[in-house]
Structure 1
């Protein structure tokens, strides 16, 4: 029997994300991100900038 022969099954949902904070939450705050040119660091930098933070990326 191969994996393709097995019937599909639904996995339990274990991760429930928290709601995002409202825009302006980080107004007047500075966020320093190390590795901000990579995938996760860049996404974090964009996220904090959208929340109103000044972002410093290294």
Structure 2
């Protein structure tokens, strides 16, 4: 939460929250795939990579 509150100082709230959720979802997926909680199919990895790409795009295009 400290990271989110710090990010809101520099970027709009909508972008900051989207980045926060995207990072959280990607890290949760990566953790479960790495530690064997869930199998990672190529399609899941592609979607997680797409999510990361979208988060980067939001950050790069924020005013």
Structures share a fold, TM > 0.5? no
Q: For CA contacts below 8 A with separation 6 or more, give which structure has more relative contact order.
A: 2
- Normalized per residue, which structure has more helix? 2
- Normalized per residue, which structure has more strand? 1
TM-score, L = length of structure 1: 0.30
TM-score, L = length of structure 2: 0.28
